[in-house]
Amino acid sequence: MIKPRKITTITAIISLISASLAFTACDKSTTDSSDSSDNSAAISDETRASADEASAPFDPYATENNYDVDRYYLSEHSDVDYGTVLKDVSYYSEVAGDYKECNILLPAGYSESESYPVMYVFHGFNGSHNDLIDDSQYLTVVYGNLLDAGLAVPQIIVNVDMYTDTKDKFEDMSFHDLRYSYDKAVDDVALCLMPFMEENFSIKTGRENTAIGGISEGGAKSLCTGLKWIDKFGYIAAFAPDGNVIQVYEDSIYDSYWTDPYFDELPVPSAENMPIYLYMAVGNADPWNVSATLYYRDVFNENGMKNQTDYVEGYAHNYKFWRVCFYNYLQKVFK
């Protein structure tokens, strides 16, 4: 350490003290300015990161789906507005050669001055357009609860009747014939029902505003419809779909109409037309459609089609599974 030289006069002492104080003040000022600049940079980086996150498009694949759902979302509540169900809405189907009916769920607060995205949903085999959307039906309840909680986007949901033939044939139609009648619903939705909806309701058009989903046989038809008409549907969901979308079983234990494939080969969308979200799920206790669902997943993966496919413990082939699947799907679409 260098010793300061001895100061012998008062003036010199005062000068030395003044210089020391000036140096200290200057050094503190420099330090404070540097710290302030560093803090400002940190705050700026944090703000920028938050802004980037807020402006980034929503990624439906970014979060896992939840199958351990709070009972609140599965139950009807007296203080929740579940919207309006329009039952047996009739439209003419050139594909069927007759009038068909559907049920339409308008969200709580629906206004013709606003436009809404649309989800089309398919029932299961031997079902009808009353199966998913009706007063107190599980899809009506789950959607109403999610919308009330701010977890779903306001949308119109249309429960399609997959029977697509003249009404006079229905009573005598075998299960074999019913399967192929359902296949016609693929074109009926795209060519007949969608134009009817656009003409009569306040809806947003475009694939980014259009979703399709279904259960069991309806899940198979959802895949068929979404992939055949990929320019019209941005969101596709199939819950325990039957094995008749593409060839699944080489030696089937089922009658051929269950597994006769709709497509000779999988239609692979272009990079521009890939689904915004492709979601499949099946329960491990499902007695029929585990292998088909997982086979579709593998084929999609092999063809570079991004998908979120869940193999879920503890669920079978019934509404208890369907409702938690829709709980997940409704939180991923149109965001």
pLDDT tens digits, 104-150: 999 999 999 999 999 999 999 999 999 999 988 999 999 999 999 99
pLDDT in tens, the chain (335 residues): 333 333 333 343 334 334 443 434 434 444 444 444 455 455 556 555 555 556 689 999 999 999 999 999 999 999 999 999 999 999 999 999 999 999 999 999 999 999 999 999 999 999 999 999 998 899 999 999 999 999 999 999 999 999 999 999 999 999 999 999 999 999 999 999 999 999 999 999 999 999 999 999 999 999 999 999 999 999 999 999 999 999 988 766 556 898 999 999 999 999 999 999 999 999 999 999 999 999 999 999 999 999 999 999 999 999 999 999 999 999 999 99
Domain assignment of residue 39, given as a range: 1-56
Same domain, 216 and 316: yes
Instruction: For residues 1 and 128, state if they share a domain.
Output: no
Q: What is the largest CA-CA distance in the chain?
A: 124
Same domain, 47 and 78: no
Residue 133: inside a domain, yes or no? yes
Buried b (16+ CB within 10 A) or exposed e, 83-105: bebeeebebebebbeeebbbbbb
Question: Do 78 and 27 sit in the same domain of this protein?
Answer: no
243 & 103 share domain:
yes
What's the domain count of the chain?
A: 2
Cβ burial of 146 (10 Å; 0-12, 13-18, 19+) is: middle
Q: Are residues 51 and 126 in the same domain?
A: no
pTM: 0.84
Phi, psi of 39 (to 5 degrees): -65, -40
